[in-house]
Structure 1
Amino acid sequence: MRAAVVTTFGGPESVRVVETELPEPGARQVRIKVAAAALNPVDAGVRAGAFGGAGKQLGFGWDVAGTVDATGVATAWQVGDEVIALDHGMIKPLGTHAEYVVVDTDAVAKAPEGVDAAHATTLPLNALTAVQALDLLELTPGQSLLVTGAAGAVGGFAVQLAAHRGVLVTGLARADDEEFVRALGAAEFTTDGVPAGSVDAVLDAAILGERALEWVRDGGVFAGVIPQAAPASVRGVRTGAVEVSADGARLAELVRLVEEGVLTLRVAETYALEDAAKAHARLAEGGVRGRLVLVP
């Protein structure tokens, strides 16, 4: 099968599409024939060597939408099931940017009905990151939350999920994103931030760090999206950062929210698998709204 990999760290030109052996599912695993796989900033980090793995073949891709092609023992999934999944991990020889991928059965959820594969694959990594970050915040209806990077993939899901829970959301993004961010459910919008200590919580999808921490009230809570990179606690503010985990049951809940119209799936552009390097180059240019998606 074909797969996008990197063997020497570098820019988009270091991405290669190679022929490799078809992976076989083990116990409690399924093999998925990939219909679409999203490209995320973490893939650029893998390509550049940010997570290590020098001298190894490293695969790209965490998100997948496709069809179950083979199963190991002890799985409830059947060949032919249309699914989505999160293939967790930075250092792996193959990812979802391939024609087939093997994932743990507990990472899989039924694909949302009425949604094409390109849009469905934008859900797992970014929506799970958003919902697990919100879990860290433990907000109740009526409390206030500032989401930085509110027009981005993680931030956009966070705005929608928080608003759906009755949280009062302020979205921080560029001025020309205001209409979009408000349409996601943000009650307020800002391009510069809010008065110091004026919100109960911040979900820092834009990775502003200590600057965003200043906006949280004394005794409030801050959640970042880079593991082990949250700023130190000040003024009694509880700080932490989400380390996203694969969770098929939680992913199924997010699928239901897609089907109910609560969550919006956004695709910026699609690329053939053999054009993976071009997709990386487009990601590196910045300014992407929605996800770039590879289609084998």
Structure 2
Amino acid sequence: MQVVGVEQFGGPGALAVHEVPQPHPGSGSVRIRVQAFAVNPTDTGVRAGQRDSSQASPPYVPGMDAAGVIDQVGLDVSGWEVGDEVMAIALPLSTHGGAYVQELVAPVGSFTRIPRGISIEEAATIPMNGLTALQILSRAALAPAQTLAVTGAAGLLGNYVVQLARAAGITVIADAAPKDEPLVRSLRPDHVVLRGASFARDVRALVPSGVDALADASVQQDEVVDAVQDGGAFFSVRGWEGNRARGIRFDRIMVAQEYRSFDKLEQLRHAVESGTLTPRVAEVLPAARAAEAHERLEAGGTRGRFVLTWE
């Protein structure tokens, strides 16, 4: 089968299509014929050699989001059949590898049916970012009317955090650059403040004591931590351990811990079907143009996700 990956870590140009043996599902797993896979910022770290690759061998294959059709079912699997359309989270550099593949072996629990009424390409944007958003909200454990600030609200992770938090009755303060304000307002946060250096000050103007929690989807770290109240919570998606300020709980979000979180995948499916969650595709490209997708993603300003498909 074909995969997109790197023989040697490097820039986007290191990505290429490679032929590898076709995998088969073992007990408790299925094989998914991948039709679409999303390009996320974490994928660029795999490509560049910024992740632990000691348990993998080349070609190193990125990708945490896939959608397609089950074409083989392993032993001891019930409730799933050949032909089921599913969306899955994948773990690059681990046993079953990343999502930039034509065939993905996925253990039960790491996939669910795609939501009704959306395309395979849209479904490919949901698992990894959706599970990240749910992990943040689960660990925040905010009650209705408590306050959550979200940086990077215009990005896909930020979109999902805002929408899921609002559905839970949480008061949401989201940031937006002027060009992104219409998009962010469409997510229906309670308040929108300007993205950038004034963020913490603007949040404090709305909530003088500071917010109960902050989801730092745009990785602004020290620049925005003053928006959080004493003893509040700060959620980092890039492993920041925080500055130990004012009794704030600094929590590093690791979506790999959600690899078999079937109940949360089902929650995401229902959220899309109910209109609570809006998948967002920036552009669909053929898999052979993965390097271009990585270049454009790293250039910044992408709204939604590039989705790659096998021709």
**TM-score category by the smaller chain?**
over 0.9
Give me the whole-angstrom Cα distance separating, in 2, the residues matched to 1:7 and 1:33.
23
**For each residue in 1:27-81, what CA deviation from the matched residue of structure 2 results, as whole angstroms up to 9, or x when unmatched?**
1111000111001111111111111438732112111111101011122211111
Mapped partners of 1:237, 1:152: distance in 2: 25
The TM-score with structure 2 as length reference comes to 0.91
**Structure 1: how far apart are the matches of 2:61 and 2:96?**
5
Could you say what secondary structure the match of 1:114 adopts? coil
* 1:254 lines up with 2:257 in the alignment: no
Quote the residue 2:99 is aligned against: 96
Give the C-alpha shift of residue 198 in structure 1: 2.0
Q: Percent identity?
A: 38
Matches within 5 A, 1:154-233: 154-191=157-194, 192-195=198-201, 196=204, 197-227=209-239, 229-233=240-244
Q: CA deviation at 1:93?
A: 7.6
Q: What is the rounded CA distance, in whole Å, between the counterparts of 1:53 and 1:223 in structure 2? A: 26
| Superimposed CA distance per residue, residues 71-130 of structure 1 (whole angstroms, 9 cap, x where no aligned partner) | 111222111111111012445684211111111111111111111000011000001001
Cα distance in structure 2, aligned partners of 1:100 and 1:23 = 7
| Maintained 8 Å contact 1:98/1:273 | no
Structure 1 segments of 4+ aligned residues over 6 angstroms from their partners: none
Query: Who is 1:8 aligned against?
Result: 8
Q: Which runs of 5+ in 1 are unaligned?
A: none
- Quote the Cα distance in structure 1 between the aligned partners of 2:30 and 2:288: 24
**TM-score, structure 1 length as denominator?**
0.95
Q: Alignment length, in residue pairs?
A: 295
In the other structure, the counterpart of 1:75 is: 77
Tell me which of 152, 155, 158 is aligned to 2:155. 152
**Matching residue's letter, 2:156:** A
CA contact (8 A) 2:10 2:49 kept: yes
Structure 2 equivalent of residue 45 of structure 1: 45
Task: Work out the CA distance in 2 between the residues paired with 1:90 and 1:146.
Answer: 33
CA separation of 1:91/1:42 partners in 2, compared to 1, >3 Å: closer, same or farther?
farther
2:281 corresponds, among 267, 280, 286, to 267
The superposition leaves residues 237-291 of structure 1 with CA deviations (integer Å, 9 ceiling, x where unpaired) of: 2221211122122101111010000001100011111222222222222211100
Distance (whole Å) between structure 2 residues aligned to residue 21 and residue 259 of structure 1: 37
| More moved, 93-102 vs 116-125 | 93-102
Structure 2 unaligned runs (5+)? none
Contact kept? 1:145, 1:203, Cα under 8 Å: yes
Q: Is this contact kept in 2: 1:136–1:242, CA < 8 A?
A: no
CA RMSD of aligned residues (A): 1.6
